Amino acid sequence: MINDLWYKNAIIYCLSVGSFMDANGDGVGDFPGLMRRLDYLQGLGVTAIWLMPFQPSPMRDDGYDITDYYGVDPRYGTLGDFVEFAHGCKQRGIRVLIDLVVNHTSDQHPWFQEARRDAQSPYRDWYVWAEQKPPKADLGVVFPGVQSSTWDHDDVAKAWYFHRFYDFQPDLNTANPHVQAEILKIMGFWLQLGVSGFRMDAVPFVIAKKGADQTDPVEQYDMLRLFREFLQWREGDAIILAEANVLPATDLDYFGNDGDRLHMMFNFQVNQTLFYALAAADVRPLVKALEATSGKPATAQWGNFLRNHDELDLGRLSKKQRKAVFDAFGPEPGMQLYGRGIRRRLAPMLQGCRARLELAYSLLMTLPGTPVIRYGDEIGMGDDLSLPERNAARTPMQWSSEPHGGFTKSDKPFLPVIDQAPFGFQHVNAAQQRRDPNSILNWTERVMRMRKEVPEIGWGRFEVLPSGTPQVLVRRYEWRNNTVMFVHNLAASPREIRLKVKRAAPGEQDLVNLLSDDHSYPDKTGEHHIRLETYGYRWYRVGGLDYLLKRTDV
Ligand code: GLC
């Protein structure tokens, strides 16, 4: 059971092929380059790689505008290279998840080209059309400030087409059975090539009813069961990890009451309140979000993250909370995006403060669910705010202090490698950090190893314990009679907390520190006094060292 539901205790690493490693020297990362770095990823302890879109694309939205779902963009290599990569991962016990971007295609996709040219074409109904500009066309844009409408006129089709995202991304008419059949075919194709599942892009929009007459969103949740059933017929252990920034009240609609829809969802509620907690040293909204998202079917799982390839979306926070995060982590207008988010990477937001980075990562690793980390964050990479929109946080991986950070031999990388202090590749790179036992890279590796040895986090039930202050978060997880406890101090000054270990037999009340020798023993009254340094954190196993040795069932 433990291995079957592999995603319950996984560590997912998200990367885009183009920015990871360039083997052929054309300035763009590729599959052969990525293959050379698989041992690095295995050494880091990654158990699954999430590849961002790599199919042929005009690249107007970082590959989220696809022109052929069954191929590899020639910049990244060939389908053969993909298969070699998939095999390389399999040999190392690393699973592969890929992006499934089926809410829309590129406007250059042959389906759209045919649809717009010929009203009689069967592809016409693969997209969403209107004769007149729909009255609410200017509402519901996803990229305010850059996108002005969700409907645009197509001169060739002589009709209006719907696009939830940019105007070059026409929405597929996902209610059309032929489109649904094609989506299944796409999944089947990549499953056959060895992937273990999909990060499904923009799920609420995929399943929304689309059309000129749609005013309020209406979700067609049954579609999710259709995808799920197909997936499980083809590959028993394949999963869908949904990008769905929705309210907790609808979580079960996505997971399915019986766990018969999506396996995993990103926890946007926890992500946003976590950044508020870091910014304001106030864990109360985070605790609320943790509790609001705790009820889910046994086989379902949250994907937790700090940063991803998009802006840090703070749209679900209250105005006051959002302002606190902006003030702390993105005060300048150039750091903000779409009126709701921050386009910086983690390390610069935390001003490169090592203690705070560790705190943030320790929180991520111990959140109920499965951690999803972003390439480069393991070495504390920075951002380049001179690049437009979300590209600021998509610069090439910094491997060494060689020119262009060892990413490419070309003089013209597709995006510049960061070369300004303090986050330039001369100072922040994997090669240097590998040699330094105290580097953030080696710290991350150790913490990831320990995370995998604590399956209670991915599988168990958690409880937030009172710490006496909103600045300190204490959580206990229980699973199969094992108990672990995590303490995090979000304050910029030391704190002491006191607590008693309940339900443990006498002699088994010791708190064994999993990351250092600094164990905690109760005083005569059974109370622990835990002194946490600024941004300090502790991972404890409850039950004492002897108890630890008695465990047999992980
Ligand atoms: C998702 C992706 C984002 C992309 C959008 C349109 O939100 O995360 O990067 O721009 O979908 O596909």
Residue intervals of the chain classified under CATH 2.60.40.1180 are 461-550
Domain with CATH 3.20.20.80 in the chain: 6-103+174-452
Order the strands of the 151-154 sheet from edge to edge: 129-130, 159-162, 151-154
Residue of 90, 3, 60, 73 whose CA lies nearest to 31: 73
Contact indicator for 429, 406 with CB cutoff of 8 Å: yes
**Is 315 in a helix, a strand, or coil?**
coil
| Residues 60 and 106 sit within 8 Å (Cβ to Cβ) | yes
> What atom of ligand 1 comes closest to residue 101's alpha carbon?
12
Return the ∠ at Cα 286 (arms to 280 and 291), rounded to 5°: 165
What per-residue confidence (pLDDT) applies to 27? 98
User: What is the CB neighbour count within 10 angstroms for residue 177?
Assistant: 7
Q: Which of 141, 268, 310, 340 to mutate to test the pocket of ligand 1 (most atoms within 8 A of CB)?
A: 310
CB 67 within 8 A of CB 17: no
Say if ligand 1 is within 6 A of residue 310 CB: yes
The reply to whether the predicted model has a pTM over 0.95 is yes
Q: Is 165 in the pocket of ligand 1 (CB under 6 A)?
A: yes
Residue at 324: amino acid letter: A
- C-alpha 67/C-alpha 90 separation (Å) is 28
100-136 burial: b if 16+ Cβ within 10 Å, else e = bbbbbbbbbbebbbebbeeeeeebbebbbbbeeebee
Q: What is the 3-state secondary structure (H, E, C) of 391-451?
A: HHHCCCCCCCCCHHHHCCCCCCCCCCCCCCCCCCCCCCCHHHHHHCCCCHHHHHHHHHHHH
279: tokens are: 């910014």
Q: Which of 165, 268, 311 to mutate to test the pocket of ligand 1 (most atoms within 8 A of CB)?
A: 165
Per-residue confidence (pLDDT) for residue 64, from 0 to 100 = 98
Q: Quick one: tokens of 346?
A: 């983690």
Determine the distance separating the centroid of ligand 1 and the alpha carbon of 90, expressed in angstroms.
Answer: 28
Question: What does the pLDDT profile of the chain (554 residues) look like in tens digits?
Answer: 556 899 999 999 999 999 999 999 999 999 999 999 999 999 999 999 999 999 999 999 999 999 999 999 999 999 999 999 999 999 999 999 999 999 999 999 999 999 999 999 999 999 999 999 998 898 889 999 999 999 999 999 999 999 999 999 999 999 999 999 999 999 999 999 999 999 999 999 999 999 998 878 899 999 999 999 999 999 999 999 999 999 999 999 999 999 999 999 999 999 999 999 999 999 999 999 999 999 999 999 999 999 999 999 999 999 999 999 999 999 999 999 999 999 999 999 999 999 999 999 999 999 999 999 999 999 999 999 999 999 999 999 999 999 999 999 999 999 999 999 999 999 999 999 999 999 999 999 999 999 999 999 999 999 999 999 999 999 999 999 899 999 999 999 999 999 988 766 666 789 999 999 999 999 988 899 999 999 999 999 998 655 554 444 33
The CATH class, in words, for 110-162 is alpha beta
User: Which residues 6+ apart lie within 8 Å of 157 measured at CB?
Assistant: 115, 116, 117, 119, 129
243: annotated active-site residue: yes
Q: What is the pLDDT of residue 3?
A: 67
Q: How far apart are CA 366 and CA 517, in angstroms?
A: 19
Helix (H, G, I), strand (E, B) or coil at 513: strand
- Going by alpha carbons, the residue nearest to atom 7 of ligand 1 is 202
Look up the CATH architecture of domain 461-550.
Sandwich (2.60)
- The answer, yes or no, to whether any atom of ligand 1 lies below 6 A from the CB of 311, is no
Cβ contacts of 229 within 8 Å, gap of 6 or more: none
Distance (Å, whole) CA 414 – CA 76: 12
Phi/psi for 234 (5° steps) reads -80, -45
Q: Rounded to whole angstroms, how far apart are CA atoms 415 and 425?
A: 14
Q: Where are the beta strands (DSSP E) in 457-526?
A: 461-465, 472-479, 482-489, 495-500, 511-513
Quote the crossing angle between the two packed helices 222-234 and 177-192, to the nearest 10°. Answer: 30
Q: Which of 62, 65, 243, 377 is catalytic?
A: 243
DSSP symbol at 245: -
Separation of 101 CA from ligand 1 center, angstroms? 8
The one-letter amino acid code at 414 reads: F
Structure tokens at 164: 């939830």
Cα–ligand 1 centroid distance for 464 (angstroms): 33
Residue 509 confidence (pLDDT): 84
Distance CA 312, CA 278 (A): 14
Beta strands in 244-391 (DSSP E): 264-266, 301-305, 312-313, 336-337, 341-342, 370-374
pLDDT of residue 394: 98
Q: Which atom of ligand 1 is nearest to the CA of 65?
A: 12
Q: Which residues contact 269 (CB under 8 A, 6 or more apart)?
A: 247, 248, 289, 292, 293, 316
Is 3.20.20.80 the CATH classification of the domain at 6-103+174-452? yes
- Is 518 tagged catalytic? no
Q: For residues 352 and 358, give the distance between their C-alpha atoms in angstroms, rounded to a whole number.
A: 10
Please tell me the residue having the least CA distance from ligand 1 atom 12: 64
Chain center to CA of 257: 24
Q: How far is the CA of 460 from the centre of ligand 1 (A)?
A: 32
Phi and psi, residue 180, nearest 5°: -60, -45
Ligand 1 neighbourhood includes 166 CB (under 6 angstroms): no
CATH 3.90.400.10-classified regions of the chain:
110-162
